[in-house]
Amino acid sequence: MSHDHPHVNYLLIFIALCVCTTLSVLFDIVNIESKFVLAVLVLAVATAKALFVLTFFMHLKFEGRWKYLLLTPTTVLACGLPLAMLPDIGMHYYVVANPQQTAYALEHPDEAATEGIKTDNHAPAHH
């Protein structure tokens, strides 16, 4: 099957990818205060790199509309499954009573008071 698509300057895309990688490493070296800001910046760069690879290296720019049919369910599931688990495992709406949290609370007593971290391992958490 011959592809009648305009010629892509692969070297230029590769250089753009390298620049993005350098940017990510720079974000790490610069030591940004907020973990959230760092995460947003670094994942934005990662998404940009991913889009470069997907559209140009994998030629998705020149493929038909079937690419949306294929990638939409995967993206939905890819985002949906972690989101489904987040409330139970990622966000603690219940009192956490495990050895790690007990040890953490003993070392950070100021945080333990505000969050629902049990410092007493003996009494089980009842709901």
Q: Give the nearest distance from C-beta 123 to another protein in angstroms.
A: 19
Nearer to another protein, 3 or 126 (CB): 3
Q: Exposure pattern of 5-30 as b/e (b: 16+ CB <10 Å)?
A: eeeeeeeeeeeebeebeeebeebeee
List of residues 6+ apart from 16 with CB closer than 8 A: 52
Q: Give the nearest distance from C-beta 126 to another protein in angstroms.
A: 20
Concatenated DSSP letters of 5-24: -PPP-HHHHHHHHHHHHHHH
* Binding site residues, another protein, CB under 8 A: 1-3, 10-11, 13-14, 17-18, 21, 24-25, 27-29, 35, 38-39, 42-43, 45-46, 49-50, 53-54, 57-58, 63-64, 66-67, 70-71, 73-75, 77-79, 81-82, 85-86, 89-92, 99-101, 103-104, 111, 115, 117
Nearer to another protein, 18 or 125 (CB): 18
Phi/psi at 36 (nearest 5 deg)? -65, -45
Q: Give the nearest distance from C-beta 51 to another protein in angstroms.
A: 10
H or E element at residue 95: none
Q: Give the nearest distance from C-beta 124 to another protein in angstroms.
A: 19
First to last CA, the chain: 63
Nearer to another protein, 89 or 123 (CB): 89
